[in-house]
Amino acid sequence: MAAANDSMSPNSRAQALAKRKERTNNVITGILSVVLVLWIYPVFMIIANSLKIESAISTDRIFRLPLGEDFAGLANYVYGVTKMDFLSAFWYSLFITVTSVALILLCCSMCAWYISRSGNALGRIMYLLCVFSMVVPFQMVMFTLAKTADTLKLNTPYNICIVYLGFGAGLAVFMFTGFMKSMPVEIEEAAMIDGCSPLQIFFRVVMPITKPTTISTAILETMWVWNDYLLPTLVLDIKKYRTIPMDIQYFRGSYGSVQMGPMMACIVITIVPVILLYLFAQKYIIEGVVAGAVKG
C-alpha cells in the first residue's frame, strides 16, 4: 500500500486527498442535516398544533398538519392573548429582561475592567468568586434567595433585576474579563494623557472596543432571563405579577386538564422574539466568545 502511494504522481495524490475531503464533508453535512431536522421538528410541531382545534391535539391527529376540520385559525392566539392576560405578562417579561440585562452589562463590564487592570489579590479573588458562582446549582440557594428577596423587598418586577444581577454576573464577568485582558493598555494610557477621567476612558474607549463581547453577552443573558421560570416563581408575588413562562403554566386546569391549543399559541409568541434576536445577532455571539477566549 505504501509502495502504491509512493508511485502516485503529485496530481493523483492531490485528487485523492480532495475526494477524501469531499466525502468527509458530505458525511458531516449529512449528520448536521439530521441534527437540524431533529431540532426544528419540535418547533414545527408547536406551530402546527397552535393552529389546530383542541380535539385534534389531544388525539392521534396531533402529528397531522392543521388542515380541514382540524384547522382552528387564529382562535387559539386570540384566546391566549385576551383570556389569560397575556399582554400584561409580556410587559412584565419585557421590563424584567431589559432592566436585568442592562444592569448586568453595566456592572459586570465595570467589574471586569477593574479585575483586568488592577492585578492585585482583591481582583483575583473577585474573579474566582464570579467564576465559582457559575458552577453553584440554583437549587442550593433558591429557598434562601426567596427569603432574602422578601426581606429586602425585591419581590416585584421593578427591582428583581438586582437578583438577576447576582446570578448573571458570573458568565458576564468571565466573558468581559477574558476580552479586556487582551486589550492593549496603551490605548487607555493615551486617553488618560489626553485628559480623560476614568469614567470617560471606560465609556468612550473601553466599551466601544468591547462591542462584540457586549452584544454576545447581552444575547445570552436575554435568552436566559426571558425564558426563566423558576426564579420569578420563587421571588415574585404570583397573584399580582406573572411573567410569560408563569402565565403559560396557568393553561393547566383542574384535574390535570391542559388547554393545549392556547398554550402552544402563547409558546409560539414567546419564542419568536428570541429566535429573531438570535438570528439577527448570532455572528456577534461567535465573535464575542472567541474574543473572550483569547486570554482567561
Domain boundary among 70, 95, 122: 70
Distance (Å, rounded) from C-alpha 224 to C-alpha 110? 21
pLDDT, tens digit (0-9, with 9 covering 90-100), for 93-136: 999 999 999 999 999 999 999 999 888 888 899 999 888 888 88
165: left (phi over 0), alpha (psi -120 to 50) or beta: alpha
Cβ-based neighbours of 38, under 8 Å, separated by 6 or more: none
Q: Based on the fold, state whether residues 286 and 162 are members of the same structural domain.
A: yes
List the CATH number of the domain containing 187: 1.10.3720.10
Q: Please indicate, yes or no, whether residues 62 and 82 belong to a single structural domain of this protein.
A: no
pLDDT tier at 257, thresholds 50, 70, 90: low
What pLDDT, in 10s, does the model give residues 40-61? Answer: 888 888 888 888 888 888 777 7
What angle, 0 to 180 degrees and rounded to 10, lies between the N-to-C axes of helices 211-227 and 161-180? 150
Under DSSP, the state recorded for 203 is: I
Does pLDDT of 10 surpass 80? no
pLDDT tens-digit map of 192-206: 988 889 899 999 889
Question: In terms of residue numbers, what domain contains 113?
Answer: 75-292
Residues 9 and 147 in one domain: no
Asked if residue 18 and residue 34 are part of one domain, the reply reads: yes
Q: What is the pLDDT of residues 133-161, one digit of tens each?
A: 888 888 888 888 888 888 888 888 999 99
- The predicted-structure confidence for 236-253, as pLDDT tens digits, reads as follows 888 888 898 888 887 776
Go through the chain and tell me how many residues it has. Answer: 296
Tell whether 64 and 79 lie within a shared domain. no
* C-alpha span between 183 and 113 (Å, rounded): 10
Question: Are 62 and 80 members of one domain?
Answer: no
Identify whether residues 54 and 84 lie together within a single domain: no
Domain stops at, among 44, 70, 96: 70
Using alpha carbons, select from 67, 33, 75, 34 the residue that is nearest to residue 48: 67
Who has greater pLDDT, 106 or 10? Answer: 106
pLDDT the model gives residue 256: 57
Of the ranges 146-160, 255-269, 280-294, which one carries the lowest mean pLDDT score? 280-294
Cα 110 to Cα 9: distance, rounded to the nearest angstrom:
60
Q: Which three cell numbers stand for residue 82?
A: 385576551
Decide which of 217 and 15 is more confident. 217
